[in-house]
C-alpha cells in the first residue's frame, strides 16, 4: 500500500502531461490506438495526462495550457521524424524517445542503413530509386543486382505500409509505383530468408538495455499491416526459441545499432536471421514504437516482468530535451 502511495505521489509530481497521438502520417490510425492505451495507463497511475492530437490542435497550445511533459505516441512522419521533437525543443517541453537528430536519421531507412554500414553492422544490400528519376530499365535491373525475391518499400514509412515482396520481374514496376506514391525515395532491399525477430531497447547510452527478443511467425511469412494490427493469426514467440547464444548475440547487435544512431529513451530494432548461415541482418529501427494491444514492446517488457502501466510510467520518467535550455541574459 505504501509503495502504491509513493508511486502515485511521484506520478502526480510529474505535472500536466500531453499524450501526443493521431497526427498527420499514414500511421494515424495505429497512433490513436497506441495513444489511447498509453493515456489510460498513465491515468491509472495517477498521472494528470491528457490526449493531444497535433492534427487537430496547434502545438503552441502545449505551452499555453501548461503541459510539463509529452509522451510521444505518434508514429511515422510528423511525429517520429524529428519534426515534433524540434518543436518541443523550442517550446522547452521534455518528451519521450529519441531527440531531433536521432529521430530524423532513424525514420529514413536508407540513411539508417548507411550509418550502420559505416559502423560495420550488417544490413541487407539495397538499391535506392528516386521518384521521377528512374527509368523502366533501371527498375527492371534491380533484381539482377539484388536477386529474387526482394523487398520494395517507401524509405520513410512504418507499420509495413507500402511494402511489397517481389518474386518476379513482372511485379517490379507495380511495387515501385506503390512505394513511390508514398515517398520520394524507394528502397529496394535484398530479401533475407529465415527467422524474423525484433528486440526492444530501454534507456540511453551505456545505461541502455535490450529486452527479450521476440520471434515473429506470420501467416505465409507475410507480416503486413493487417497481420500486425488487425488479426490474431500472427504468432509472437517469447521466449523466442532461438538456438543457444543467438538471442544474446542479437541483443548485443541491437544495442550497438541503437547507440550508433544516438537513440535514447526507448526503441525497437527489427532483424532478419539468414536461415542458412544464421547471420543476423539489421532491417530498421523504430524510435516511437507501437503501444497497441498487438504491439511488441509491451509484449517483450511483459516477458521481462514490466507490465504495461509500469512501462508507460518508466518511459514518461525518461522524458528529456536534447539540451538544457540556455539561461536568458539579464
Per the annotation, the verdict on 159 as an active-site residue is: yes
Per the annotation, the verdict on 28 as an active-site residue is: no
Q: Residues 37, 82, 290, 300: which is the catalytic one? A: 290
Q: Residues 270, 295, 300, 309: which is the catalytic one? A: 270
* Residue in 72, 42, 63 with CA at minimum distance from that of residue 287: 72
* Residue in 90, 51, 40 with CA at minimum distance from that of residue 74: 51
Per the annotation, the verdict on 48 as an active-site residue is: no
Cβ-proximal residues to 254 (8 Å cutoff; 6+ apart), any chain: 199, 201, 210, 269, 271, 282
Interatomic CA distance for residues 127 and 144, integer angstroms: 11
Q: Residues 95, 229, 258, 281: which is the catalytic one? A: 229
Cβ count near 154 (within 10 Å): 23
Interatomic CA distance for residues 174 and 203, integer angstroms: 41
Q: Rounded to whole angstroms, what are the CA distances from 144 to 141, 168, 201?
A: 5, 11, 36
Q: Residues 31, 34, 104, 159: which is the catalytic one? A: 159
- Angle, in degrees to the nearest 10, between helices 28-44 and 308-317: 90
Q: Residues 25, 31, 227, 286: which is the catalytic one? A: 286
Per the annotation, the verdict on 46 as an active-site residue is: no
Per the annotation, the verdict on 229 as an active-site residue is: yes
Per the annotation, the verdict on 290 as an active-site residue is: yes
CA-CA-CA-CA torsion sign (190, 112, 91, 17) = positive
Q: Residues 27, 89, 157, 247: which is the catalytic one? A: 27
* Grid coordinates belonging to 227: 497481420
Per the annotation, the verdict on 227 as an active-site residue is: no
Interatomic CA distance for residues 77 and 26, integer angstroms: 8
Residue ranges with strand state E in 73-221:
126-130, 150-154, 164-166, 185-190, 194-202, 209-210, 214-217
Interatomic CA distance for residues 79 and 20, integer angstroms: 9
Q: Residues 69, 215, 264, 268: which is the catalytic one? A: 268
Per the annotation, the verdict on 203 as an active-site residue is: no
Provide the annotated active-site residues: 27, 159, 229, 268, 270, 284, 286, 290
Amino acid at each position: 500500500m505504501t509503495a502504491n502511495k509513493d508511486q502515485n505521489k511521484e506520478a502526480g509530481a510529474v505535472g500536466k502531461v500531453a499524450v501526443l497521438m493521431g497526427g498527420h502520417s499514414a500511421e494515424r490510425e495505429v497512433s490513436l490506438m497506441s495513444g489511447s492505451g498509453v493515456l489510460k495507463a498513465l491515468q491509472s497511475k495517477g498521472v494528470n495526462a491528457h490526449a493531444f492530437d497535433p492534427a487537430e490542435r496547434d502545438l503552441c497550445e502545449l505551452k499555453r495550457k501548461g503541459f510539463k511533459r509529452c509522451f510521444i505516441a505518434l508514429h511515422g512522419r510528423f511525429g517520429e521524424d524529428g519534426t515534433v521533437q524540434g518543436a518541443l525543443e523550442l517550446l522547452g517541453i521534455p518528451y519521450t524517445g529519441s531527440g531531433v537528430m536521432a529521430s530524423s536519421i532513424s525514420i529514413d531507412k536508407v540513411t539508417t542503413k548507411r550509418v550502420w554500414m559505416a559502423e560495420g553492422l550488417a544490413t541487407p544490400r539495397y538499391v535506392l530509386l528516386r521518384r521521377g528519376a528512374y527509368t523502366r530499365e533501371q527498375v527492371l535491373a534491380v533484381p539482377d543486382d539484388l536477386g529474387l525475391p526482394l523487398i520494395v518499400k517507401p524509405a520513410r514509412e512504418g507499420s509495413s505500409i507500402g511494402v511489397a515482396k517481389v518474386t518476379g520481374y513482372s511485379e517490379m514496376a507495380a511495387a515501385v509505383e506503390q512505394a513511390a506514391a508514398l515517398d520520394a525515395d524507394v528502397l529496394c532491399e535484398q530479401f533475407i530468408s529465415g527467422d524474423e525477430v525484433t528486440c526492444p531497447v530501454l534507456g540511453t547510452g551505456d545505461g541502455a538495455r535490450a529486452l527479450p527478443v521476440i520471434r515473429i511467425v506470420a501467416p505465409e511469412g507475410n507480416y503486413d499491416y493487417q497481420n500486425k494490427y488487425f488479426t490474431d493469426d500472427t504468432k509472437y514467440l517469447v521466449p523466442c526459441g532461438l538456438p543457444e547464444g543467438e538471442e544474446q548475440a542479437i541483443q548485443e547487435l541491437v544495442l550497438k545499432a541503437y547507440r550508433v544512431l544516438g537513440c535514447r529513451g526507448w526503441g525497437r530494432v527489427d532483424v532478419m536471421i539468414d536461415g542458412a548461415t544464421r547471420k543476423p541482418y539489421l532491417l530498421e529501427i523504430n524510435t516511437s514504437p507501437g503501444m497497441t494491444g498487438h504491439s511488441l514492446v509491451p509484449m517483450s517488457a511483459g516477458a521481462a516482468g514490466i507490465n504495461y502501466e509500469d512501462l508507460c510510467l518508466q518511459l514518461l520518467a525518461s522524458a528529456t530535451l536534447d539540451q538544457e535550455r540556455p539561461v536568458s541574459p539579464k
